[in-house]
Protein backbone atom coordinates (compact mmCIF):
# COMPACT_ATOMS: atom_id res chain seq x y z
CA UNK A 1 0.00 0.00 0.00
CA UNK A 2 1.30 3.44 -0.92
CA UNK A 3 1.76 5.83 2.01
CA UNK A 4 1.62 9.63 1.83
CA UNK A 5 2.93 12.17 4.32
CA UNK A 6 0.53 15.12 4.45
CA UNK A 7 1.75 18.18 6.35
CA UNK A 8 -0.80 20.54 7.85
CA UNK A 9 -3.60 18.05 7.35
CA UNK A 10 -5.64 19.40 10.27
CA UNK A 11 -5.88 22.90 8.84
CA UNK A 12 -8.56 24.28 6.53
CA UNK A 13 -7.41 23.07 3.12
CA UNK A 14 -5.54 20.07 4.53
CA UNK A 15 -8.53 18.65 6.41
CA UNK A 16 -10.85 19.07 3.44
CA UNK A 17 -8.22 17.43 1.24
CA UNK A 18 -7.85 14.44 3.58
CA UNK A 19 -11.61 13.92 3.62
CA UNK A 20 -11.66 13.79 -0.18
CA UNK A 21 -8.36 11.92 -0.67
CA UNK A 22 -8.97 9.08 1.77
CA UNK A 23 -12.37 8.48 0.25
CA UNK A 24 -11.07 8.52 -3.33
CA UNK A 25 -7.95 6.38 -2.93
CA UNK A 26 -8.73 3.19 -1.00
CA UNK A 27 -5.25 1.77 -1.63
CA UNK A 28 -3.38 4.70 -0.03
CA UNK A 29 -2.64 5.36 3.65
CA UNK A 30 -1.84 8.78 5.10
CA UNK A 31 0.33 10.15 7.88
CA UNK A 32 -0.91 13.59 8.91
CA UNK A 33 1.85 15.68 10.49
CA UNK A 34 0.40 18.80 12.10
CA UNK A 35 1.69 21.15 14.78
CA UNK A 36 -1.89 22.15 15.72
CA UNK A 37 -1.29 25.89 15.78
CA UNK A 38 -4.26 28.20 16.35
CA UNK A 39 -5.74 27.40 12.90
CA UNK A 40 -5.00 23.66 12.92
CA UNK A 41 -7.46 21.64 14.94
CA UNK A 42 -7.34 17.92 15.61
CA UNK A 43 -11.14 17.94 15.74
CA UNK A 44 -11.11 18.78 12.01
CA UNK A 45 -9.78 15.29 11.25
CA UNK A 46 -10.88 13.25 14.26
CA UNK A 47 -13.32 11.33 12.05
CA UNK A 48 -10.36 9.54 10.42
CA UNK A 49 -8.75 8.28 13.61
CA UNK A 50 -10.61 4.96 13.49
CA UNK A 51 -9.47 4.47 9.89
CA UNK A 52 -6.54 2.01 9.72
CA UNK A 53 -5.25 3.93 6.69
CA UNK A 54 -4.82 7.13 8.72
CA UNK A 55 -2.22 8.11 11.32
CA UNK A 56 -1.99 11.45 13.13
CA UNK A 57 1.37 12.76 14.32
CA UNK A 58 1.46 15.90 16.45
CA UNK A 59 4.68 17.61 15.48
CA UNK A 60 6.53 20.49 13.84
CA UNK A 61 7.81 20.42 10.26
CA UNK A 62 10.90 22.23 11.59
CA UNK A 63 11.77 19.19 13.75
CA UNK A 64 14.43 17.60 11.57
CA UNK A 65 14.64 14.26 13.43
CA UNK A 66 10.87 13.77 13.40
CA UNK A 67 10.59 14.73 9.74
CA UNK A 68 13.44 12.40 8.81
CA UNK A 69 11.81 9.45 10.60
CA UNK A 70 8.44 10.05 8.93
CA UNK A 71 9.96 10.63 5.50
CA UNK A 72 11.55 7.16 5.64
CA UNK A 73 8.07 5.60 5.98
CA UNK A 74 6.37 7.19 2.95
CA UNK A 75 6.71 7.28 -0.81
CA UNK A 76 5.01 10.65 -1.43
CA UNK A 77 4.65 14.02 0.31
CA UNK A 78 1.86 16.59 0.02
CA UNK A 79 2.99 19.72 1.82
CA UNK A 80 0.20 22.08 2.95
CA UNK A 81 1.63 23.22 6.30
CA UNK A 82 2.11 26.99 6.34
CA UNK A 83 1.33 30.21 8.14
CA UNK A 84 -1.09 31.94 5.77
CA UNK A 85 -2.73 35.08 7.13
CA UNK A 86 -1.38 38.25 5.46
CA UNK A 87 -2.26 40.67 8.27
CA UNK A 88 -0.62 38.43 10.86
CA UNK A 89 2.50 38.23 8.70
CA UNK A 90 2.75 42.02 8.59
CA UNK A 91 2.50 42.24 12.38
CA UNK A 92 4.56 39.15 13.24
CA UNK A 93 6.70 37.96 10.29
CA UNK A 94 9.16 35.72 12.16
CA UNK A 95 6.85 32.71 12.47
CA UNK A 96 6.01 32.93 8.76
CA UNK A 97 9.67 32.73 7.81
CA UNK A 98 10.26 29.91 10.29
CA UNK A 99 7.35 27.73 9.17
CA UNK A 100 7.11 28.54 5.48
CA UNK A 101 10.81 28.75 4.67
CA UNK A 102 12.72 26.79 7.32
CA UNK A 103 9.95 24.20 7.65
CA UNK A 104 9.87 23.59 3.91
CA UNK A 105 13.66 23.36 3.84
CA UNK A 106 13.57 20.77 6.64
CA UNK A 107 11.16 18.63 4.63
CA UNK A 108 13.17 18.96 1.43
CA UNK A 109 16.44 18.19 3.19
CA UNK A 110 14.93 15.01 4.64
CA UNK A 111 13.56 14.10 1.23
CA UNK A 112 17.09 13.91 -0.20
CA UNK A 113 17.59 10.50 1.39
CA UNK A 114 14.05 9.22 0.87
CA UNK A 115 12.80 7.28 -2.11
CA UNK A 116 9.86 9.50 -3.03
CA UNK A 117 7.66 9.24 -6.09
CA UNK A 118 6.48 12.83 -5.74
CA UNK A 119 6.70 15.86 -3.46
CA UNK A 120 3.75 18.19 -4.01
CA UNK A 121 4.41 21.65 -2.61
CA UNK A 122 1.19 23.65 -2.17
CA UNK A 123 1.62 27.37 -2.73
CA UNK A 124 -0.36 30.52 -3.46
CA UNK A 125 -1.21 32.97 -6.22
CA UNK A 126 0.12 35.73 -3.97
CA UNK A 127 3.73 34.89 -4.88
CA UNK A 128 3.15 36.59 -8.24
CA UNK A 129 2.03 39.86 -6.70
CA UNK A 130 -0.74 41.97 -8.24
CA UNK A 131 -1.82 42.22 -11.88
CA UNK A 132 -4.20 44.86 -13.26
CA UNK A 133 -5.07 43.09 -16.51
CA UNK A 134 -4.69 39.55 -17.81
CA UNK A 135 -3.68 36.53 -15.76
CA UNK A 136 -0.45 35.08 -14.43
CA UNK A 137 0.96 32.00 -16.11
CA UNK A 138 3.39 29.73 -14.31
CA UNK A 139 6.37 31.42 -16.01
CA UNK A 140 5.72 34.92 -14.62
CA UNK A 141 8.43 36.27 -12.30
CA UNK A 142 7.63 36.29 -8.60
CA UNK A 143 6.86 39.65 -7.00
CA UNK A 144 5.43 39.11 -3.49
CA UNK A 145 4.09 42.02 -1.45
CA UNK A 146 3.79 40.72 2.13
CA UNK A 147 5.99 38.70 4.48
CA UNK A 148 3.52 35.83 3.98
CA UNK A 149 3.77 35.78 0.18
CA UNK A 150 7.52 36.42 0.29
CA UNK A 151 7.99 33.41 2.57
CA UNK A 152 5.86 31.27 0.25
CA UNK A 153 7.84 32.47 -2.78
CA UNK A 154 11.06 31.53 -1.00
CA UNK A 155 9.69 28.07 -0.26
CA UNK A 156 8.72 27.64 -3.92
CA UNK A 157 12.24 28.50 -5.02
CA UNK A 158 13.74 26.14 -2.45
CA UNK A 159 11.57 23.31 -3.75
CA UNK A 160 12.63 23.97 -7.33
CA UNK A 161 16.29 24.21 -6.29
CA UNK A 162 16.14 20.85 -4.46
CA UNK A 163 14.57 19.35 -7.56
CA UNK A 164 17.38 20.62 -9.78
CA UNK A 165 20.21 19.87 -7.35
CA UNK A 166 19.09 16.63 -5.73
CA UNK A 167 16.45 15.29 -8.11
CA UNK A 168 13.65 15.44 -5.55
CA UNK A 169 10.40 14.82 -7.50
CA UNK A 170 8.88 18.23 -6.77
CA UNK A 171 5.60 19.51 -8.20
CA UNK A 172 4.42 23.00 -7.22
CA UNK A 173 0.75 24.04 -7.12
CA UNK A 174 -0.16 27.73 -6.85
CA UNK A 175 -3.75 28.19 -5.83
CA UNK A 176 -6.14 31.10 -5.68
CA UNK A 177 -8.28 32.08 -2.65
CA UNK A 178 -10.20 29.18 -1.09
CA UNK A 179 -13.46 29.13 0.85
CA UNK A 180 -15.66 26.44 2.38
CA UNK A 181 -16.17 24.42 5.59
CA UNK A 182 -13.61 24.46 8.42
CA UNK A 183 -12.16 27.82 7.32
CA UNK A 184 -10.76 29.63 10.36
CA UNK A 185 -12.93 32.70 11.08
CA UNK A 186 -10.22 35.30 10.62
CA UNK A 187 -10.40 34.99 6.81
CA UNK A 188 -12.84 37.18 4.93
CA UNK A 189 -15.64 34.78 3.95
CA UNK A 190 -15.97 32.88 7.26
CA UNK A 191 -15.46 36.12 9.20
CA UNK A 192 -18.27 37.84 7.31
CA UNK A 193 -20.57 34.82 7.59
CA UNK A 194 -20.03 34.34 11.31
CA UNK A 195 -20.30 38.07 12.02
CA UNK A 196 -23.66 38.20 10.26
CA UNK A 197 -24.89 35.13 12.16
CA UNK A 198 -23.90 37.02 15.32
CA UNK A 199 -25.70 40.16 14.15
CA UNK A 200 -22.43 42.09 13.74
CA UNK A 201 -21.24 44.26 10.86
CA UNK A 202 -18.63 43.06 8.38
CA UNK A 203 -15.26 44.90 8.17
CA UNK A 204 -14.35 45.78 4.57
CA UNK A 205 -10.99 47.15 3.43
CA UNK A 206 -10.52 50.20 1.20
CA UNK A 207 -14.05 50.57 -0.12
CA UNK A 208 -13.90 47.00 -1.42
CA UNK A 209 -12.31 47.56 -4.82
CA UNK A 210 -9.64 44.86 -4.61
CA UNK A 211 -10.27 41.77 -6.75
CA UNK A 212 -9.82 38.12 -5.81
CA UNK A 213 -10.54 34.83 -7.58
CA UNK A 214 -12.50 32.35 -5.45
CA UNK A 215 -12.22 28.56 -5.42
CA UNK A 216 -14.33 26.15 -3.37
CA UNK A 217 -12.10 24.02 -1.16
CA UNK A 218 -13.50 20.72 -2.45
CA UNK A 219 -12.39 21.75 -5.95
CA UNK A 220 -8.94 22.40 -4.52
CA UNK A 221 -8.94 18.91 -3.02
CA UNK A 222 -9.87 17.52 -6.43
CA UNK A 223 -7.09 19.53 -8.08
CA UNK A 224 -4.41 18.29 -5.67
CA UNK A 225 -5.62 14.71 -6.09
CA UNK A 226 -5.57 15.16 -9.87
CA UNK A 227 -1.99 16.46 -9.81
CA UNK A 228 -1.04 13.62 -7.48
CA UNK A 229 -2.14 11.23 -10.22
CA UNK A 230 -1.32 13.14 -13.40
CA UNK A 231 1.10 15.98 -12.61
CA UNK A 232 4.57 15.97 -14.15
CA UNK A 233 7.64 16.11 -11.95
CA UNK A 234 9.40 19.48 -11.96
CA UNK A 235 6.36 21.40 -13.15
CA UNK A 236 4.31 24.24 -11.65
CA UNK A 237 0.52 24.28 -11.95
CA UNK A 238 -1.80 27.22 -11.30
CA UNK A 239 -5.22 26.41 -9.85
CA UNK A 240 -7.85 29.08 -10.49
CA UNK A 241 -11.47 29.37 -9.45
CA UNK A 242 -12.61 31.25 -12.56
CA UNK A 243 -14.64 33.45 -10.23
CA UNK A 244 -13.10 36.91 -9.99
CA UNK A 245 -15.00 39.29 -7.73
CA UNK A 246 -14.20 42.64 -6.19
CA UNK A 247 -14.39 42.54 -2.42
CA UNK A 248 -17.51 44.72 -2.49
CA UNK A 249 -19.15 42.31 -4.96
CA UNK A 250 -18.32 39.36 -2.73
CA UNK A 251 -19.62 41.23 0.30
CA UNK A 252 -22.86 41.98 -1.56
CA UNK A 253 -23.34 38.30 -2.37
CA UNK A 254 -22.90 37.29 1.27
CA UNK A 255 -25.18 40.06 2.53
CA UNK A 256 -27.85 39.03 0.02
CA UNK A 257 -27.81 35.46 1.35
CA UNK A 258 -28.60 36.92 4.78
CA UNK A 259 -31.21 39.34 3.50
CA UNK A 260 -29.02 42.28 4.56
CA UNK A 261 -27.78 45.42 2.83
CA UNK A 262 -24.96 47.96 2.93
CA UNK A 263 -25.95 49.07 6.42
CA UNK A 264 -24.06 45.99 7.67
CA UNK A 265 -20.72 47.11 6.15
CA UNK A 266 -18.09 48.79 8.32
CA UNK A 267 -15.26 50.20 6.21
CA UNK A 268 -11.86 49.82 7.88
CA UNK A 269 -8.32 51.08 7.30
CA UNK A 270 -6.67 49.42 4.32
CA UNK A 271 -3.97 46.78 4.63
CA UNK A 272 -0.37 47.87 3.99
CA UNK A 273 0.79 47.13 0.41
CA UNK A 274 -2.63 45.67 -0.36
CA UNK A 275 -2.45 43.82 -3.70
CA UNK A 276 -5.16 45.07 -6.04
CA UNK A 277 -5.92 41.94 -8.09
CA UNK A 278 -4.91 38.29 -8.29
CA UNK A 279 -5.67 36.27 -11.40
CA UNK A 280 -4.28 32.91 -12.53
CA UNK A 281 -4.16 31.31 -15.95
CA UNK A 282 -5.03 27.63 -15.39
CA UNK A 283 -4.75 26.45 -19.00
CA UNK A 284 -1.72 24.28 -18.22
CA UNK A 285 -3.64 22.20 -15.68
CA UNK A 286 -6.75 22.14 -17.86
CA UNK A 287 -4.67 20.77 -20.74
CA UNK A 288 -4.05 17.69 -18.56
CA UNK A 289 -7.81 17.20 -18.21
CA UNK A 290 -8.76 19.03 -15.01
CA UNK A 291 -11.74 21.39 -14.91
CA UNK A 292 -13.83 23.39 -12.48
CA UNK A 293 -17.57 22.86 -12.91
CA UNK A 294 -19.06 24.16 -9.65
CA UNK A 295 -20.21 27.77 -9.14
CA UNK A 296 -19.84 30.19 -6.25
CA UNK A 297 -23.60 30.69 -6.03
CA UNK A 298 -24.20 27.09 -4.91
CA UNK A 299 -20.95 26.75 -2.98
CA UNK A 300 -21.33 29.99 -1.04
CA UNK A 301 -24.78 28.87 0.07
CA UNK A 302 -23.37 25.49 1.13
CA UNK A 303 -20.63 27.28 3.06
CA UNK A 304 -23.11 29.51 4.88
CA UNK A 305 -25.26 26.48 5.72
CA UNK A 306 -22.21 24.73 7.17
CA UNK A 307 -21.36 27.64 9.47
CA UNK A 308 -24.97 27.88 10.58
CA UNK A 309 -24.99 24.16 11.39
CA UNK A 310 -21.60 24.21 13.17
CA UNK A 311 -21.77 27.21 15.46
CA UNK A 312 -20.08 25.36 18.30
CA UNK A 313 -16.99 24.91 16.10
CA UNK A 314 -16.47 28.56 15.19
CA UNK A 315 -17.93 30.35 18.22
CA UNK A 316 -15.29 28.81 20.48
CA UNK A 317 -12.53 29.82 18.05
CA UNK A 318 -13.71 33.41 17.88
CA UNK A 319 -14.11 33.62 21.65
CA UNK A 320 -10.80 31.98 22.55
CA UNK A 321 -8.38 32.88 19.79
CA UNK A 322 -9.52 35.71 17.62
CA UNK A 323 -10.73 39.21 18.42
CA UNK A 324 -11.77 41.53 15.61
CA UNK A 325 -9.92 44.82 15.91
Q: Which residues are catalytic?
A: 125-126, 148
Instruction: For residue 274, give Cα distances in angstroms to 204, 210, 211, 249.
Output: 13, 8, 11, 17
As a whole number of angstroms, the distance between CA 289 and CA 3 comes to: 25
Q: What is the largest CA-CA distance in the chain?
A: 58
Which residues, at least 6 apart from 287, have a Cβ–Cβ distance to it below 8 Å? none
As a whole number of angstroms, the distance between CA 89 and CA 150 comes to: 10
Q: What is the CA radius of gyration of the chain?
A: 19
What beta strand segments (E) does 75-227 contain? 76-79, 118-124, 170-175, 177-179, 202-205, 211-216
Kind of pairing between the strands at 177-179 and 118-124: unpaired
Which of these, 49, 104, 111, lies nearest to 74 by C-alpha position? 111
The phi and psi torsions of 195 (rounded to 5 degrees) equal -60, -45
3-state secondary structure of 11: coil
Which of these, 139, 192, 170, 214, lies nearest to 314 by C-alpha position? 192
Number of Cβ within 10 Å of residue 301's Cβ equals 12
Amino acid sequence: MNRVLVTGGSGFIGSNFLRYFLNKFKDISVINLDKLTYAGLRSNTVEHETNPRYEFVHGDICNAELVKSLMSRVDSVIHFAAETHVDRSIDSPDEFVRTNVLGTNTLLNAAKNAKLKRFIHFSTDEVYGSIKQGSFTETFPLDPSSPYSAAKAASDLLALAYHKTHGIPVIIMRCTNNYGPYHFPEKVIPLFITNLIEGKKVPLYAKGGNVRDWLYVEDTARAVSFVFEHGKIGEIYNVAGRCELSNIELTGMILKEFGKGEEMIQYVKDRLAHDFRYSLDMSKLEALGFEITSTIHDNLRKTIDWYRANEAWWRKLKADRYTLK
